[in-house]
């Protein structure tokens, strides 16, 4: 007559069965640990990649800001030059009109 240890809870399993059970549990734990370690390594690689990308973006941001300042300054000066030219042209036209009106410049 075979006695099943699960059927008869008062009886302990044979030592060989207990060793096999412990070995199986140990193997499961080892497999779980290996999977977790692989996940950690992949996560670390992803984090390193993100850190590298972040550093590149930071450098590109600095370059962009510097370039934007230069472009802003350049276009500000162009705008100032244009305003000065327009003001000078308007003053010259006003001066010519005034000189014609005063008779300083003879009419053709």
- Residue 49 has a CB neighbour count (10 Å cut-off) of 10
Q: What is the pTM of this model?
A: 0.51
Answer for the pair 3, 11: CB distance below 8 angstroms, yes or no.
yes
Tokens of 13: 């399993």
Per-residue pLDDT tens over the stretch 64-94 = 999 999 999 999 999 999 999 999 999 999 9
Condensed to tens digits (0 to 9), the pLDDT of residues 39-68 reads 999 999 999 999 999 999 999 999 999 999
Contact (CB, 8 A) for 100 and 107: yes
Helix (H) or strand (E) holding 26: helix 15-102
């Amino acid at each position: 007559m075979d006695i099943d240890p699960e059927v008869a809870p008062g009886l302990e399993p044979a030592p060989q069965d207990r060793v096999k059970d412990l070995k199986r549990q140990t193997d499961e734990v080892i497999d779980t640990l290996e999977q977790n370690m692989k996940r950690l390594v992949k996560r670390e690689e992803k984090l390193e990649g993100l850190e590298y990308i972040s550093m590149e973006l930071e450098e590109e941001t600095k370059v962009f800001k510097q370039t934007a300042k230069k472009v802003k300054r350049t276009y500000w000066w162009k705008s100032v030059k244009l305003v000065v030219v327009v003001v000078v042209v308007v003053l010259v036209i006003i001066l010519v009109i005034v000189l014609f009106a005063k008779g300083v410049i003879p009419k053709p």
